[in-house]
C-alpha cells in the first residue's frame, strides 16, 4: 500500500522535530500504523535546513494554504501556532476533507468548539495530543485510558518554561529574566513568552484537560489565570521551611456547584511526587473515582518530545482511516451530543488554604490585630511565624498558613489587613493544595 501523504505546516522547533522523528523511525512507525507515513509537502516562511532529515523527499513552499488545498495530501500537521492564520488553515483543511494534527493549544482552547463541530460534520479527525504537556500522552490517558471513571480533579505542572524558571530560581538562585532567556534559547518558550510566565499557556492546556475530563465545552475565557512573576526568593525559602514547594499548577475540579478552572502558583507538600517534578518536565495528577490518583510525567516541551505526541496522533489517524467517523474516539472524550452545561465556578467561590506573607511593624498588638481580622472573617490559622528582619530593617516578615476558606472571604480579609497602618505594602498570597484526594 502507498504511504499516507502528509502536509506539514511550520518547520520550526516542533516541525523540524516531527520531520526528524518520522524520517528516523519510519520503519518502526509503519509497522505500527499498518502503512508508511511520508511528509511529502511542507510550508514554511523561514527555516534552517541544517539537521533536518529527509528534507529531500519534501516539497517545501511558503504558502500554507497551497499545502492545505493539495489533493494528494490526506493529513495536515499544523505547527505554525497562534490563532490566525492557524484557525483558517485548519478549517480549510477540514473543509477539504483532510484530517488534522496540531500542537496548537491556544487554537484548540479558543476555537476548539467551532473546529470540532466542523470536523464532526465532515467526518474527519482533529487530534491535539501535542498541545497538552508536550510528550506526555495525557489526552489519550484521560480520554481513553480512564474512560471508566468519574474524574474528580486534575492538577498539573503543564508549562515547562515556568517550571524550568521556578526550579532554576530555587536550586541555583538564578535571576528570573536570565532563566527565561535560556528557556527561549532551548526552544521551550512560546513565541510570546508572557504566555508562559503569566500562565496563559497553562490555561489553554487546562481548558482542554477540563473539557475531556468533565465533558463540558471548551471555556478558556472562564479560566482564572495568575502568573509566576510575583514569586520572590523569600517565598520559595519560607515554603521550604514549612515543608512545601511552590509550583505553577493548573487545577480543575468538579464540585456540586461548578467546575474549578484555575492556574496559579501553588504551594504543595514537598513529599508529593509532583512537588519534585523539576526543570522543563511536566506532570499531571488525575484523580478518578475508580482508579484513584494516577500521575503522568515527562518532557513538557522541546522538539522531539512534542514531535513524539504529534507523530502518535498521525499514527492513530492512519490506523482509523478506514473506520466510520461515528466509530472514532470523540474529540472531547464524550459524544458531541453529550456535553454538559455544568457551570465554571467563579474564582471567588473556590476554596483553598493560603500562605500569606506580609511586612509588619515589630511592635505589640500587630499580630493580634491581623489574627483578629482573619478570625472575624471566619478564617482559621494553621501556622504563624515571625521572621528575622533584614539588616537595618525595623519591619519584619510575617508568614501565615490558613485552613481552607472561600476566596471571597480571603479577599476581604487581605483588604482589611492591607489597610492597617502597621502593615507595609501588599500581602503576598499563595494558594495551598494538599493534593491528597
How far is CA 3 from its chain centroid?
34
Our CB check for ligand HSE shows the closer of 16 and 397 to be 16
159 binds ligand HSE (CB under 6 A): yes
Q: Which residue has the cell 452545561?
A: 341
Here's the x/- map for ligand HSE, 110-149, by CB under 6 A: it reads as ------------------------x---------------
Q: How far is the CB of 229 from ligand HSE (least distance, A)?
A: 15
Q: Which residue has the cell 510575583?
A: 230
DSSP annotation of 301 reads: S
Rounded-to-integer distance, Cα 251 and Cα 82, Å: 24
* 105 marked among binding-site residues: yes
3-state SS string for 254-296:
ECCCCEEEEEEEEEEECCCHHHHCCCCEEEEEEEECCCEEEEE
301 binds ligand HSE (CB under 6 A): yes
308 binds ligand HSE (CB under 6 A): no
Among the residue ranges 182-190, 291-299, 379-387, 396-404, the one whose residues contact ligand HSE (CB under 6 A): 182-190
Return the residues of window 5-24 that contact ligand HSE according to CB under 6 A. none
Q: How far is the CB of 110 from ligand HSE (least distance, A)?
A: 15
Q: How far is the CB of 77 from ligand HSE (least distance, A)?
A: 16
* 190 marked among binding-site residues: yes
* 9 marked among binding-site residues: yes
Of 47, 116, 153, 188, the one binding ligand HSE by CB under 6 A: 188
81 binds ligand HSE (CB under 6 A): no
Q: How far is the CB of 201 from ligand HSE (least distance, A)?
A: 5
Residues 140 and 329: beta-carbon distance below 8 Å: no
DSSP annotation of 350 reads: -
Our CB check for ligand HSE shows the closer of 281 and 356 to be 281
Rounded-to-integer distance, Cα 155 and Cα 340, Å: 21
207 binds ligand HSE (CB under 6 A): no
Which candidate in 5, 92, 121, 205 is catalytic? 205
Rounded-to-integer distance, Cα 407 and Cα 260, Å: 12
227 binds ligand HSE (CB under 6 A): no
Active site residue 92: no
* 97 marked among binding-site residues: no
How many residues would you count in the chain? 437
Residues 6+ apart with CB under 8 A from 361: 394, 395, 421, 422, 423, 424
Residues 6+ apart with CB under 8 A from 398: 357, 358, 359, 360, 366, 367, 370, 384, 385, 386, 387
313 binds ligand HSE (CB under 6 A): no
Kindly determine how many residues on this chain lie close enough to bind ligand HSE according to the rule CB under 6 A.
11
Rounded-to-integer distance, Cα 173 and Cα 118, Å: 49
* 28 marked among binding-site residues: no
Rounded-to-integer distance, Cα 43 and Cα 40, Å: 11
Of 86, 109, 189, 286, the one binding ligand HSE by CB under 6 A: 189
Of 196, 198, 226, 313, the one binding ligand HSE by CB under 6 A: 196
Return the residues of window 161-180 that contact ligand HSE according to CB under 6 A. 161
CB-based burial of residue 121 (10 Å sphere; 0-12 exposed, 13-18 middle, 19+ buried)? Answer: exposed
* 23 marked among binding-site residues: no
Rounded-to-integer distance, Cα 82 and Cα 77, Å: 14
Q: How far is the CB of 358 from ligand HSE (least distance, A)?
A: 32
- What is the number of other CB atoms lying within 10 angstroms of the CB of residue 237? 12
- What is the number of other CB atoms lying within 10 angstroms of the CB of residue 102? 29
* 89 marked among binding-site residues: no
Helix (H) or strand (E) segment spanning residue 118:
helix 105-122
Q: Which residue has the cell 472524550?
A: 333
Pick out the residues of the known binding site for NADPH: 105
Q: Which chain residues interact with ligand HSE by CB under 6 A? A: 134, 159-161, 188-190, 196, 201, 300-301
Which positions make up the binding site for NADP(+)? 9-16
Q: Which residues are annotated as a binding site?
A: 9-16, 105, 190
Q: Which active-site residues does the annotation give?
A: 205
Q: Which residue ranges are tagged as binding site for L-homoserine?
A: 190
Amino acid at each position: 500500500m502507498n504511504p499516507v501523504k502528509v502536509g506539514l505546516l511550520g518547520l520550526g522547533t516542533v516541525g523540524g522535530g516531527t520531520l526528524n522523528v518520522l524520517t528516523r523511525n519510519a520503519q518502526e512507525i509503519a509497522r505500527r500504523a499498518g502503512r508508511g507515513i511520508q511528509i511529502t509537502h511542507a510550508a514554511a516562511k523561514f527555516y534552517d535546513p541544517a539537521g533536518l532529515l529527509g528534507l529531500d523527499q519534501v516539497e517545501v513552499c511558503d504558502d500554507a494554504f497551497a499545502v492545505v488545498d493539495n489533493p494528494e495530501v490526506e493529513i495536515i500537521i499544523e505547527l505554525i501556532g497562534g490563532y490566525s492564520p492557524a484557525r483558517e488553515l485548519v478549517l480549510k483543511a477540514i473543509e477539504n476533507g483532510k484530517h488534522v494534527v496540531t500542537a496548537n493549544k491556544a487554537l484548540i482552547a479558543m476555537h476548539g468548539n467551532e473546529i470540532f463541530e466542523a470536523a464532526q460534520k465532515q467526518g474527519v479527525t482533529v487530534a491535539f495530543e501535542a498541545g497538552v504537556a508536550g510528550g506526555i500522552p495525557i489526552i489519550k490517558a484521560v480520554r481513553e485510558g480512564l474512560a471508566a471513571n468519574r474524574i474528580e480533579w486534575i492538577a498539573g505542572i503543564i508549562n515547562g518554561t515556568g517550571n524550568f524558571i521556578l526550579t532554576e530560581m530555587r536550586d541555583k538562585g538564578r535571576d528570573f529574566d536570565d532563566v527565561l532567556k535560556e528557556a527561549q534559547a532551548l526552544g521551550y518558550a512560546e513565541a510570546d513568552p508572557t504566555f508562559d510566565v503569566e500562565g496563559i499557556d497553562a490555561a489553554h492546556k487546562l481548558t482542554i484537560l477540563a473539557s475531556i475530563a468533565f465533558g463540558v465545552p471548551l471555556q478558556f475565557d472562564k479560566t482564572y489565570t495568575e502568573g509566576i512573576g510575583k514569586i520572590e526568593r523569600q517565598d520559595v525559602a519560607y515554603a521550604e521551611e514549612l515543608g512545601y514547594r511552590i509550583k505553577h499548577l493548573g487545577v480543575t475540579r468538579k464540585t456540586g456547584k461548578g467546575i474549578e478552572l484555575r492556574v496559579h502558583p501553588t504551594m504543595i507538600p514537598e513529599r508529593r511526587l509532583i512537588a519534585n517534578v523539576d526543570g522543563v518536565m511536566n506532570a499531571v495528577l488525575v484523580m478518578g473515582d475508580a482508579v484513584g490518583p494516577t500521575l503522568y510525567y515527562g518532557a513538557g516541551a522541546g522538539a522531539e518530545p512534542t514531535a513524539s505526541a504529534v507523530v502518535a496522533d498521525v499514527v492513530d489517524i492512519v490506523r482509523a482511516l478506514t473506520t466510520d467517523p461515528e466509530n472514532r474516539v470523540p474529540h472531547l472524550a464524550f459524544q458531541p451530543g453529550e456535553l454538559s452545561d455544568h457551570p465554571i465556578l467563579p474564582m471567588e467561590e473556590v476554596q483553598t488554604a493560603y500562605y500569606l506573607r506580609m511586612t509588619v511593624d515589630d511592635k505589640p498588638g500587630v499580630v493580634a490585630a491581623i489574627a483578629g481580622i482573619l478570625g472575624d472573617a471566619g478564617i482559621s490559622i494553621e501556622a504563624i511565624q515571625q521572621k528575622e528582619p533584614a539588616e537595618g530593617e525595623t519591619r519584619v516578615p510575617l508568614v501565615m498558613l490558613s485552613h481552607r476558606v472561600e476566596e471571597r472571604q480571603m479577599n476581604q480579609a487581605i483588604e482589611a489587613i492591607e489597610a492597617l497602618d502597621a502593615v507595609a505594602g501588599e500581602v503576598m498570597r499563595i494558594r495551598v493544595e494538599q493534593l491528597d484526594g
